[in-house]
Amino acid sequence: MKKTVLIGVTGCVAIYKTCEIVRGLQKAGVRCKVVMTESATHFINPLMFRSLTREPVAVGLFDDKPGDPIHHISLSKEADVFLIAPCTANVIAKLANGIADDLLTTTALATEAPLVIAPAMNVNMYEHVATQQNMDTLKSRGVRFIDADSGYLACGDVGKGRLADPDVIVQATLEVLNVKRDLVGKRVLITAGPTVEPIDPVRYISNPSSGKMGFALAEAAADRGADVVVVSGPVSLSDPEGVEVVRVRTACDMLAAVGERFDASDIAIFTAAVSDYRPANPSDRKLKKGADDSALATIELVKNPDILATMGARKHAGQIVVGFAAETENVEENASKKMAAKNADMVVANLATEGLAFGADDNAASIVTAAGVQRFETMPKSELAHRILDAALEL
């Protein structure tokens, strides 16, 4: 699940830079929502932020939002971080003294999310003892300030008070969010979902893989800056934002698609549940009961290619190959054997029980490497995805 930054915007000429901040956070995979003071709307129309974020923009304390009579409370609970940029001396003073007389300050007082403030104002206002004391008060409460820059100000004065560079604000916000960007410049290839091996046009051999783990990994890797390609069997999941998804059906199709992209990848993660066998002679027409009983009763099977083993044998220096193993017994022992047999660097293993693994939103797993085993209790697959990436980067 994407993290949410609630962006507070106050009445300041530097407001145009907030558009760049929104874009920077979105590129990092962060969901942005905007709350504006009434004064801010005199500098920029809320429609601008609504267009950028594709989210409603909150302005009035008594905005008519159907089904949400206490808007400032719902906003405060959505935020993983509350960033105010630009933040005027007036709003800093209100926050320092617990004054909540509009939607922005009321939300700031109600939220339990970390508060990040990027001030912007005239140099004399910035250096005034009252402003400095107010900032010190907020810092003592754990508020993080992103220092204003020095330079030529909109009023014509020269000095400290310019809003910090948008990239600096974005990076500081991501640090507070604990969003890692350690995969920038890396290419990650992921297989996901089941494969489908046709018996005839209406019957097939497959398995219950939903693709959720692979897609969670793709979203996590993209959030951390990677260039991600997912080769997926048939699933009902939407494409993760910023991720290339290649749709395939059979194991042979998946092998071909992976083979085209494997050499260019830095990390290859094989989560797909590939069918081990396929019908040797699939029918091009529906086999009918009665007339085709013998063909339905006995289906000759042939082995499918082992995609993980094939790519493991082909990996180049510096490339990381990660396999997955769903087991019903001896989970870690079988995962260790699989890692050696397939020339993988790491295997993520889990117990395939009801309620976990296939189709579930949560999972527990053991990460097996040559260095040992890391065990993770049941957690959302979105969180487990980051643990898997962390482990891969430690190899």
Domains annotated for the chain, with CATH where assigned, are 4-177 (3.40.50.1950), 187-393 (3.40.50.10300)
pTM: 0.71
The stretch 12-34 carries a mean pLDDT of: 91
Q: Identify the residue with better confidence: 2 or 383.
A: 383
- Beta-ladder partners of 32: 5
Confidence of residue 158 (pLDDT cuts 50, 70, 90): confident
With 60 as the cut, is the pLDDT of residue 64 above it? no
Catalytic residues: 155
List, in sequence order, the alpha helices (H) in 5-55: 16-27, 46-53
Q: 292-308 b/e with 16+ CB inside 10 Å = b?
A: eeeebeebeeeebebbb
Residue 68 has a CB neighbour count (10 Å cut-off) of 12
> Over the chain, what is the mean pLDDT?
91
What's the gap between Cα 120 and its chain centre? 31
Confidence of residue 66 (pLDDT cuts 50, 70, 90): very low
The amino acid at residue 180 is K
Least confident of 130-144, 147-161, 265-279: 147-161
With 80 as the cut, is the pLDDT of residue 62 above it? no
Distance CA 38, CA 319 (A): 53
Burial class for 15, CB neighbours closer than 10 Å (0-12, 13-18, 19+): buried
With 90 as the cut, is the pLDDT of residue 283 above it? yes
With 90 as the cut, is the pLDDT of residue 365 above it? yes
Decide if 3 contacts 177 (C-beta within 8 A).
yes
- Beta-ladder partners of 169: none
Distance CA 330, CA 283 (A): 38
Confidence of residue 77 (pLDDT cuts 50, 70, 90): confident
Distance CA 317, CA 323 (A): 17
